[in-house]
Amino acid sequence: MPGPELGRMIDGKYELIAPIGKGGMSVVWLGRDLRLDKLWAVKEIRPDGRGKSRATSRRALIDEANFIKRLDHPAIPRVVDMVEDGGSCFVVMDYVDGRPLSQVLRERSVPFEQDDVVGWGIQLCDVLGYLHARTPPVVYRDLKPSNVMLRDDGSLKLVDFGIADELLPGRGGDGRCIGSPGYSAPEQVDRKVHEATPTDARADVYALGATLFSLVTGIVPTRVGPLGSDVAIKFDLVPIRQVNPALSDGLEQVIVRATMHDPRDRYQSVAEMRYDLEHYEELTQQYRSNLQRKVRVFARWVRASVAACLMGVALVVGSVMVRNSSYDAIMHRAGISDASAAQEAYAQAIGVAPSRAEAYEGLLNAFKSDGVLSTDESDLWMRIWQEHGREVEGDSLGARVCYDAGVLYLCYFDAQSTWSEKGEDVKRATGDAAMQRVSRAVPWFERSVRACDPAAGNYAGLVVDEHLDEYAASEVYLTVGEFYTRLSRAYDEGGDVTDVFQSFWNALEACVVGTGEEPALLSRAEPIVCLRLYQVAFDSIASSTYLSGFMHAGVTKQEALRLLDAAKEGADSLEEFSRANAVAAGALFDELELGYEVALDNVSRTFGNPVASMQALIGGVGR
């Protein structure tokens, strides 16, 4: 079937402007969202055609899109919509205004500057670390310059997750020999090595090393031996200073270690590799020579006097004292600085003492001081967490830090809203921005819950008493946030969504109304948290799709109205707070006033539909 013509509208929302890429089963279009006046990349996955292989390929492309929908990292383009139209499936994703590094390298005809390559390597370590830290871990398996997009601001985007593999518990990795010539690790493409060493995250370490080699030398690495053959495969990577003696021997060491043939000899994680990339100048021969000279001088000095031993002990103790005083001094400076300088100081303090929670808390408070968590601030937080987060998660206040990060994303993140009109003059947010905030908050509430041990009475800094139960709040907020992912997965797998809607409704009731003798969680939460959750409640009931799902799960009209009225009463009680905190809450409060009326209309309309009511009655039997 021929593809759509230029200017065609998809789902009444997306106008196809121009083709920007083409594959065997797909065409990528530049599309304009007429609601947002925003550009997206729209991948058209065409009908199966003839043959089992085409059907399999089409399914693989759709599976890839569904997989990317679950990812949330600044360096990974988002999938924001999937539409069936005219026999084709259209995947709507972020439009990346950049070019593949491979194309830029060809056009330059000379290698990239060493410092640029190191900076890109650090960025790629961040996104690979995010994938490897997921549950289950994800191995990207196809890192190469053509899959890395360079934007004008110097940031990178990782594209094409077609052969990424989730390492599910109880199942080995993908058994196929698969990858890109020259960049894939031996265990991906050498059958004998693959049988002895299944592919894991260290394969991405190798590919990153090979990619950096190519970028800094201008040479595309190759291999000897066909893919998947029994012939031993040799790789032509050489130390980079054999190509260009002016390059750093420290960077050479990083790339050599990353591309070792045996995975056990490589960096065992991208976090290790990231550290060496950040300190590659300290790995140079000149640096080591200077260090050795200092050691020899120090050794002669020690031999000169027994007192030097005592001095050495004093120096060790003193170094700890200096570190502590440095940390305290930085924290003091942060406490008396404006928001921007405070953020910089708190970040510096985290680098000095990454296991101490106070600096993380200070940074979170600095982010929300202006009532907005910007995308730049979010990126800074994610970079810091990627590098140091594991150290503070084990702190006695680890859950406290994660809970406050979750609240920050839930309430302050600068998400983009879309708008729709009702009647002539009533506008309201459709909930896109609210859902973005909730989805970004989920991992933090999950970490918060995981850091606690209720059986031992250890809540890692969360407040749990007769007035406030932040642990229970974390569990409920997590359930609310997971709803959208669980619903999407259930639809994709063709499963029953009744339980998904039921658990979501239970969480909303626990937040807004309370259950049994337990009062509403939001009666004991921060005002801004209350407003955001009231927004989620209004938007959920204002959605015909969600309200129908609640009906089929057995929710009655009276229960829907009760939750709406409770949310309205709670929102009204926060008007004074909203006006006093106009930046963070003023517009949100105004939106809630309109959102209540829209949700109320939808309840009357949906429950007034006799067909829907009968279906809900049948679906709710046994509730």
Q: Residue 265: inside a domain, yes or no?
A: yes
Indicate if 266 and 128 belong to the same structural domain: yes
Query: Does a structural domain hold residue 294?
Result: no
221-235, 275-289, 393-407, 478-492: range with lowest mean pLDDT: 221-235
Q: Kindly state whether residue 386 falls inside one of the protein's structural domains.
A: no
Q: Residue 17 belongs to a domain with what CATH number?
A: 3.30.200.20
Q: How confident is the model at residue 311 (pLDDT cuts 50, 70, 90)?
A: very low
Residue 296 lies in a domain: no
CA distance 460 to 396: 5
Whether pLDDT at 550 is above 60? yes
Q: Percent of the chain, pLDDT > 90? A: 19
Single residue among 285, 319, 350 that ends a domain in this structure: 285
Region 392-417: mean pLDDT is 82
**Residue 516 placed within a domain:** yes
- With vertex at residue 167, the alpha carbon angle to CA 163 and CA 172, rounded to the nearest 5 degrees, is 100
Q: What is the helix, strand, coil percentage profile of the chain, to 5?
A: 60, 10, 30
Buried b (16+ CB within 10 A) or exposed e, 201-240: bbbbbbbbbbbbbbbbbbbbbebeeebbeeeebebebeeb
Same domain, 261 and 313: no
**Same structural domain for residues 424 and 509?**
yes
Please give the pLDDT value at position 211: 96
* Residue-wise pLDDT tens digits, 20-47: 887 666 788 899 998 888 899 998 887 6
Q: Measured between alpha carbons, how far is 206 from 143 in angstroms, rounded to an integer?
A: 9
- Report the b/e string of 568-587 with b at 16+ CB within 10 A: bebbeebeebbeebeebbee
pLDDT digits over 142-188, tens only? Answer: 999 999 999 988 889 998 888 888 876 655 555 566 777 789 888 88
Q: Cα angle vertex 131, ends 129, 132, to 5°? A: 65
pTM above 0.75, yes or no: no
Residue 356 falls within a domain, yes or no? yes
- 115 and 53, same structural domain? no
Say if 2 falls within a structural domain: no
Residue 613 has pLDDT above 70, yes or no: no
How many alpha carbons fall within 13 Å on the CB side of residue 490?
14
Phi, psi angle pair for 471, to nearest 5°: -65, -50
> For all residues of the chain together, what is the average pLDDT?
78
How far is Cα 95 from Cα 90, in angstroms, rounded to an integer? Answer: 14
Asked whether residue 370 falls in the same domain as residue 437, the answer is: no
Residue 389 lies in a domain: no
Beta bridge partners of 94: 40
pLDDT band, residue 566 (cuts 50/70/90): very high
Contacts of 208 (CB under 8 A, 6+ apart): 121, 124, 125, 128, 143, 258, 270, 273
Cα separation, 598 vs 596, whole angstroms? 6
* DSSP reduced 3-state for 63: helix
Domain count, the chain: 4
Q: Does 505 lie in the same domain as 363? A: no
Q: Is the peptide bond before 181 cis (omega within 30 degrees of 0)?
A: no
CA-CA distance, 223 to 235, in Å (whole number)? 5
Statement to judge: residues 552 and 404 lie in one domain: yes
Kindly state whether residues 191 and 313 are assigned to the same domain: no
Tell me which of 191 and 570 has the higher pLDDT: 570
Q: What is the pLDDT of residue 421?
A: 37
Give the Cα separation of 53 and 30 in Å (integer). Answer: 28
Range of the domain at 605: 396-619
Give the up-direction half-sphere exposure of residue 239: CA atoms within 13 A in the CB hemisphere: 11
Mark whether 478 and 615 lie in a shared domain: yes
The answer to whether residues 268 and 189 belong to one domain is yes
Contact 215, 112 (CB under 8 A): yes
Segment 380-396 shows an average pLDDT of: 83
Nearest to residue 124, comparing CAs of 194, 212, 233? 212
Pair 227, 318 in one domain: no
Domain containing residue 148: CATH number: 1.10.510.10
Task: Name which residue leads in pLDDT, 116 or 225.
Answer: 116
Do 569 and 499 lie in a common domain?
A: yes
Q: Which of 328, 350, 380 is the last residue of a domain?
A: 380
* Domain's final residue, options 285, 320, 335: 285
